[in-house]
Structure 1
Amino acid sequence: MSNLLSDFLSLLPGDPLLVGEVSSIADEIRIVTLPDGSTITAKGVAAVGQRVFIRGGVIDGIAPALTVVEILV
């Protein structure tokens, strides 16, 4: 018999994939500005001005410089 709690938790989504622009660097921490204007911190390698993908506070990679479109439902 499976554990109901672990089955339920497996249905919940993990950390979302975010995109933003590196606005500053302090030590090894990058300050990233998201499209809505809020800022978050992330660890990883990126230069100021680069657009990056972030998941769980870690830079996943460099994002293409495309126009951001927000879809409201």
Structure 2
Amino acid sequence: MTGDVPMAPRAAPDVDRRMLESLVCPITHGPLRFDAERGELVSRHAGLAFPIRDGIPIMLESEARRIED
């Protein structure tokens, strides 16, 4: 997936697309990629994936999952 946010994500159907487009990584202030399969916002630069729960992105480093490239 490039950086586009899908219109109808399967894992997080209640997520507002405009809200996702305006969010940035709280660590690097860089772009986030929406992973619809996992229902997460991924920051490649920080190496973190932030969960989305009940349509709400949890933008806390302590709640993020570490990812590998």
Give me the TM-score of the superposition, normalised by structure 1. 0.28
Higher alpha-carbon Rg: 1
The TM-score with structure 2 as length reference comes to 0.29
